[in-house]
Amino acid sequence: MANYYVDQTLGDDSNPGTITQPWKTISKVNSTSFSPGDSVYFKRGEVWRETLIIPSSGSDGNPITFGAYGTGDKPKISGADVVTGWSGPDENGEYYKSGFTTVPKIVLRDGSRISKGMVGSLGVDEWGYDSGTLYLGFDPTGYTIEAGQRTSPVTINGKSYITVQDITIYGGNNRADMDAAGGNICIYSTSTNIFLSNITSYACHFSGIGVGGSNVSDITISNVVVYDTLAAGIRFASGVTNSTLSNFLVHDCAMLPSDDGAGGDGGGIEVTTDCDNIDIFCGEVYNTGAGLTSSQKPDPGIAIYQSTNIDVTRVKIHNCYGGGAYYRSVTSGKSCSGNFTYNIVYNNGDLSVTSDTVLYGLRLGGVDGGKVTVNVYNNVFASNRCEVVGSTGKMGMVYVGSYSNIEFKNNILKDPIGDYSYYVLTSGTSVTYTASNNCYYTTGNNNRQWRLSPQSWFPMHRCRDRCWS
């Protein structure tokens, strides 16, 4: 078990990699074969504009660890390069830099993504690209401008027993794997027993952390902050099993106008297609999907899609433009199930998003042969917008659709928003819905109704659970 050190400023790849004689580059790390129990430490306060491709696997009880040493800010690994030497303005008032051979998918101004526009008519907060030249709609003087150049700055491809901790990753220009779709951190292809801790991931194309593949399992993600992403902040996809996500903060996903139609679904956390046994607990999701206003319908803050045994517990979900959360199936033979417990879901849904988007606090529903089975216990749902954008269709703060088996108990529901809103709306065929010990609370004159079945509506004062106003 050996320790290796990397210092971008003072290191040298001809050194032995000790703390007094560190390596310099991530390229040196990538080309080194490590043994189980080894550790690689990057110096705090330094930035590497390279891609870390984990080269070796650890073993049970002896993972290979990639972390930090020294004092100061966490070390950064960036998929973007600083752009200098600008010319302009041209006849359109735009500034430009030529010579790019890799097409940038993102451009950062002082560390934050800015929206992409059309060269020749760029807005003051936009960038554009044409034939090897990057354009800005504003004077770059006084700003740090970075352009995405590398895919998935941390890539774990077919490796196991790996720990990555105490590192900041940003600027990923694309995803190394289509299923995992991790723009900054991408874990795929038979990777198992991966532990991510104290990670900050921001400003990337697609998801900040993406995990995908039917042979990917036992992924533990804890104490992470993810924000400013094109797609869902954190994604599990295509058969990931036996994994956990805890103590997380995910926010500001798909918030730019150019995110609309660019490929991401605009939610905060996504679990999609054949995943099983994933626990999501103790975290917060907010500000997602604001950029999706015409071409693409945003996902809610947490989206569980055609995956089983997915538990969401003690999560605060708020101010997500596409709604709070859903468990859904749309394909026969693909079920969806889990427990949704002790969550606080409030102020979700916004009418500015794409027409026909369904807004709600929690949506549950499947198809014939693809049933959704969820226990919904001990949650608070408050002030969520409940309607179909651009329509007069009815919608519930909790919407229970076809082919679902839902037990709903010990929840508090307060003030759904919308002219056709309900506290609970059940609709469709093959619905099993059991409710007990719920509180439906209203303030002022907001005397909304709730619906027990596709045939019957009841005003609040006639509901069988507890009601206060």
Structural domains of the chain, ranges and CATH numbers in brackets: 3-78 (no CATH), 80-148 (no CATH), 154-468 (2.160.20.10)
Instruction: Determine the Cα–Cα distance for residues 333 and 342; give it in Å rounded to an integer.
Output: 30
| Single-letter residue type at 186 | C
Other C-beta atoms closer than 10 Å to the C-beta of 326 total 27
Residue 28: which H helix or E strand, with range?
helix 26-30
- Which amino acid, 230? L
DSSP 266-290: --SEEEESS-EEEEEEEEEEEEE-T
Structure tokens at 285: 């999701």
Within a 13 Å sphere around the CA of 70, how many CA atoms are in the beta-carbon half? 20
Other beta carbons less than 10 A from residue 206's beta carbon: 29
Report d(CA 419, CA 387) in Å as an integer. 8
Query: Cα separation of 157 and 272, whole Å?
Result: 20
Residue 59 DSSP symbol: B
**What is the SS3 string spanning 387-407?**
EECCCCCCEEEEEECCCEEEE
At 445 the pLDDT is 56
- Residue for token pair 């990917």: 216
Q: Mean pLDDT for each consecutive 10-residue tract of the chain (469 residues)?
A: 98 98 98 98 98 98 98 98 98 98 98 98 98 98 98 98 98 95 97 98 98 97 98 97 98 95 88 97 97 93 98 98 97 98 98 94 98 98 95 92 98 92 93 95 62 42 43
* CA angle, residues 294, 249, 149, in degrees to nearest 5: 65
Length in residues, the chain: 469
Question: Is it true that the peptide bond before 89 is cis, omega within 30 degrees of 0?
Answer: yes
How many Cβ atoms are within 10 Å of 31's Cβ, its own excluded?
Answer: 11
Give residues with Cβ within 8 angstroms of 178, minimum separation 6: none
Q: Are 309 and 282 in contact (CB under 8 A)?
A: no
CA atoms in the 13 A half-sphere facing the CB of 105: 23
- Name the β-bridge partners of 311: 279
The pTM (predicted TM-score) of the whole model is: 0.95
What is the SS3 assignment for 460? helix
Measure the CA–CA gap between 384 and 459, rounded to whole angstroms: 19
Distances in whole angstroms, Cα of residue 411 to Cα of each of 344, 406, 414, 420: 10, 13, 10, 21
Answer for the pair 298, 289: CB distance below 8 angstroms, yes or no.
yes
Q: Is 44 exposed, middle or buried (0-12, 13-18, 19+ CB in 10 A)?
A: middle
What is the chain's alpha carbon radius of gyration, rounded to the nearest angstrom? Answer: 24
Amino acid 377: pLDDT: 98
> Which two three-digit tokens encode residue 33?
């074969």
